[in-house]
Structure 1
C-alpha cells in the first residue's frame, strides 16, 4: 500500500520533509501541499506533481490525501490536528503539538472521541541511534537507576526574530521530551537560571540560559541552552546512574589528525545532525500508517512537554523561582 501524504506548511522544514519522503523513503507519495502563501504552496508542490491548496482544511478533506504532515508554526497546529482527527486521518505534527496545555487537552479529547490514536508528535530524537543506545543502557539495569542528566543544546547562531521564549518552547522542548523518554517518567518541577549573557546575541535575547528540572522520582536534569556559540550545532547528553555513566557527544562527521592538531568537523544545523533520525521517524510513521497503527510519541507526550514549557516560562518571568508542573492524570487511553 502506498500512503498518499499531504503537507501543511511549505517552509524550510516542510520542504525538507517533502524531499526526504520523495528521495530517501519508501511506501509514500506526496499528493498535496497547503500553505497560506499560494506561491509557496505551488512551488513546493510542483516538483512532486502534487496539488497545491491555499487552505489546510481543504487539504485535510481532500480524497487524494491518506495522511497529513503538519510543519507550520506552533500556534497554528491545534485546529489542523483536530481536523485531521475528525477526518480519521493519521497526522505527524512537528513539535510543539500546541502552544498551550488547553489546546493539547482539546486534541486529546478529540482523539479519545475518535477512539484511536491518530497523532504523532515530531520528537525525532527518540529515533536517534545514540539516544536509543543510552536508553538501552539505563533500561538494562546494569548500572542502577538514574540520578542526574546533563544536557547541552548549542546553536552557532539564531535569527533576530528568535526570542528568549523560543529558547524554551522551540529549543529546550527537545531536551524536555528526550529526558521524559530516557527516564520513563514525568518532570515534576522546573526553574530557569540566567547566566551572564554572551555579547554575540541580539540585545533582546537572554543567552545562554539553563533549564533545571526535577522528575517525579527526584532525578535532576540540567539543560544548557546556548544559541550563539558560533562554532557549530552541538547536542550533548550525559546520563548519570548509580554505578556508571553513558554520554552522547556531538556527532563526529570527519576526524582529522595533522600538523595543525587533532580535530573533527562539527554539525552546523539540526538537519545536519538529525537527518538519519528524521528519516527513521518518517519511515516508521509511514509503515505504521500502512498497517493502520500508531507509532512514535503521542498526544500525551505533546501535552506533557507543553506543561513543562509552561512552567519554565513562568519561572523565566518570575526571576527563576522553581515552578511545579501542573498536569492532569494520564488517561488510560494513552497508557
Structure 2
C-alpha cells in the first residue's frame, strides 16, 4: 500500500511539529501539502520536503486530488468550515482541539458526519495516547482499586501568550482535563464550577490565574483541577485517582530523584508540553495513519468527544463569569444515530 498523502493545515508551532513528526517518525504517511495564512512560512516548509507543495487556500488544499487525509492545526474559529469541507470530500481528518469554538457549530459537525454514515473526524486529545494515562485507564478498568471515586488534577504552564485571557484557561487548558475525565470515567460531565482565588502577582494583567475547576459527573463522581498557567517554573500535568481500595498518581516526572549536599531533594520539571507529551503525539498520529490506511479512519476521540468537551467548557466560561456552578447542556448521544 502506498503512503498516505497528508495535508497539514496550519504550520505554526503545533502544525510544524506534526509535519516534522510525519516526515521523521511516522510510517505509512508523507506530507504532500502544507497550508498556512502566512504564505511564506508554508512555502519555506514545503521547499524542504521532497514532493510537498504549499497551497494558499485551505479549502483548495482539502479538495486537492493528491491529498488522502488532513491534519487540522489551524486556529479554532476556522475549524467548522474546514471540517465540513473534509466531510464533503470524504477525507479523514485529525483535528486539533477544539472541534469548533462554538457548541452549536460542534453539534452541527457531529450531525453532518452522522448523516454520512461513517466516521471521518478524530479530535486531537493526545493525552489518551500517553503511556501514563493509558496505564491509569487500564488500572481503573481492571477493578484492582475498586470503584473510582475522585480525581485530583493539576495543570501548570510556565507562561502563556500575551493575548491569553481568563476564558482561554477554560477553553484551551481545562479542556484537556475535561476529556481526561470523560476518558477515565466513561461518562459525561453534568456540572462545572470555576473558582478564582487571588491572582498570582506574576500573572499578566487581567488574567484570572490560578483558577480552580470543580466537575461533577453523571454518576456523582468529583473532579477538581488546579489551573495555573503563569507559574514561571515549568510544565506540570498531574492526575491522582482516589478509588475505593487505593489511589494512583501520574505525571510526577520521577524519572530521576536527586538528593544534594545542600539539602535539596528532587528531579527536573518538564519544560514544555512537547517534552511531556511528545510520545503521546507520536502514538496518536501513527495510530490515526494506520486507521485511515485500514479504512476505519478513526482510532481515538471522535467528533462527539469534541462536542462534549465544547459543551463543558462553554458551561465553564459561564461559571467563570458568575462564580457559581453551571449545569452542562448537551443533547443525548442516542438522539444522533451514528454519533
TM-score normalised by structure 1 residue count: 0.97
Q: Residue 296 in 1 paired to residue 300 in 2? A: yes
Q: Match for 1:83 among 82, 85, 88?
A: 85
Aligned-partner SS, 1:42: helix
Deviations along 1:74-129, one digit per CA (max 9) or x if unpaired, are 11111101100110010000001011111111111221122100000000000011
* Unaligned residue ranges in structure 2 (runs of 5+): none
Find the partner of 1:311 among 288, 309, 315: 315
Q: Secondary structure at the match of 2:6?
A: strand
Structure 1, 217-226 or 42-51: larger mean CA deviation: 42-51
TM-aligned CA deviation for residue 58 of structure 1: 0.5
Residues 114 and 332 of structure 1: CA distance in aligned 2, closer, same or farther (over 3 Å) = closer
Q: Would you say 1:216 and 2:218 are equivalent positions? A: yes
Q: Is the 8 A contact 1:91 1:119 kept in 2?
A: yes
How far does residue 196 in structure 1 lie from its aligned partner after superposition?
Answer: 1.2
Q: What is the TM-score with the length of structure 2 in the denominator?
A: 0.96
- C-alpha distance in 2 between matches for 1:151 and 1:255: 22
| 1:228-272 deviations in Å (ceiling 9; x for gaps) | 112210000001111111111333454433324332111111111
CA distance in 2 between counterparts of 1:65 and 1:235 reads: 36
| Number of residue-to-residue matches in the alignment | 333
Conserved 8 A contact 2:114-2:337: no
Q: Distance in 2 between matches of 1:215 and 1:308?
A: 11
For 1:333, the equivalent position in structure 2 comes to: 338
Give the match for residue 56 of structure 1: 58
Alignment of 1:152-191 (within 5 A): 152-191=154-193
- Structure 1 distance, partners of 2:183, 2:154, is 17
Rounded Cα–Cα distance in structure 2 between residues aligned with 1:196 and 1:95: 29
Give, in whole Å, the separation in 1 of the partners of 2:254 and 2:282.
19
> Which residue in the other structure is 2:141 paired with?
139
The within-5 A match list for 1:1-335 is: 1=1, 2-49=3-50, 50-260=52-262, 261-293=264-296, 294-318=298-322, 320-330=323-333, 331-334=336-339
SS of the aligned residue for 1:160 comes to coil
* Partners of 2:146 and 2:182 in 1: CA distance: 18
